[in-house]
């Protein structure tokens, strides 16, 4: 009888060992499943954030293009604006250029490098055209000599008007 009791004791110890192993395996499986779900969630978040960046880039392009077109139109019409309204016209153009520059600066963190360089080049081109037109306007508005029209003609030729 003692042998039977020993066997029972031995089998009872075996069953607790088996139960503990089952619990360990179940815990490992549970942990692995949680890690897998966390990885899936991380990938989903990364994918969504990548989509937001592309949408934001597209939104930037649309707004930048619209404001750029507005500034181009204002610069083109600068030659046909009455002299009395030129100061206000250049002030409006200056405000638009500053807003466009601020918008580019604020958007720089999510823009690809190529987009950023392209936008900066467009803004610098606008600044150059604006300064040329402003120089012509100042020349015509302030400088009056007997040959002022030749200087204005030369400046207009330089600017390309």
Task: Say if 124 falls within a structural domain.
Answer: yes
Q: What is the pLDDT of residues 64-99, one digit of tens each?
A: 899 989 988 888 887 787 777 877 888 888 888 889
> What's the pLDDT at 27?
93
| Residue 68 lies in domain | 56-159
> What's the pLDDT at 43?
82
> What's the pLDDT at 8?
45
Q: What is the DSSP string of 106-154?
A: HHTTTS-HHHHHHHHHHHHHHHHHHHHHHHHHHHHHH---TTHHHHHHH
> What's the pLDDT at 6?
45
> What's the pLDDT at 5?
47
User: If you search the block for the tokens 């020993």, which residue do you land on?
Assistant: 6
Number of structural domains found in the chain: 1
Q: What is the CATH number of the domain that holds 119?
A: 1.20.58.1250
Mean per-residue pLDDT pooled into runs of 10, the chain (161 residues): 48 75 92 92 76 68 90 83 79 88 86 88 85 73 57 67 56
d(C-alpha 90, C-alpha 137), whole Å: 10
**Helices and strands of the chain, counted as H and E runs:** 4, 0
Asked whether the whole model's pTM tops 0.85, one would answer no
Task: Say if 25 falls within a structural domain.
Answer: no
């Amino acid at each position: 009888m003692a042998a039977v009791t020993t066997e029972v004791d031995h089998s009872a110890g075996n069953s607790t060992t088996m139960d503990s192993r089952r619990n360990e395996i179940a815990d490992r499986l549970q942990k692995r499943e949680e890690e897998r779900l966390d990885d899936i969630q991380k990938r989903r978040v990364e994918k969504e954030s990548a989509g937001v960046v592309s949408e934001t880039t597209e939104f930037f392009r649309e707004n930048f293009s619209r404001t750029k077109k507005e500034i181009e139109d204002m610069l083109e019409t600068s030659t046909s604006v009455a002299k009395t309204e030129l100061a206000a016209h250049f002030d409006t153009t200056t405000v638009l250029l500053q807003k466009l520059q601020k918008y580019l600066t604020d958007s720089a963190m999510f823009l690809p490098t190529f987009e950023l360089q392209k936008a900066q080049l467009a803004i610098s081109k606008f600044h150059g055209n604006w300064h040329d037109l402003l120089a012509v306007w100042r020349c015509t508005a302030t400088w009056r000599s007997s040959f002022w029209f030749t200087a204005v003609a030369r400046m207009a030729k330089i600017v390309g008007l």
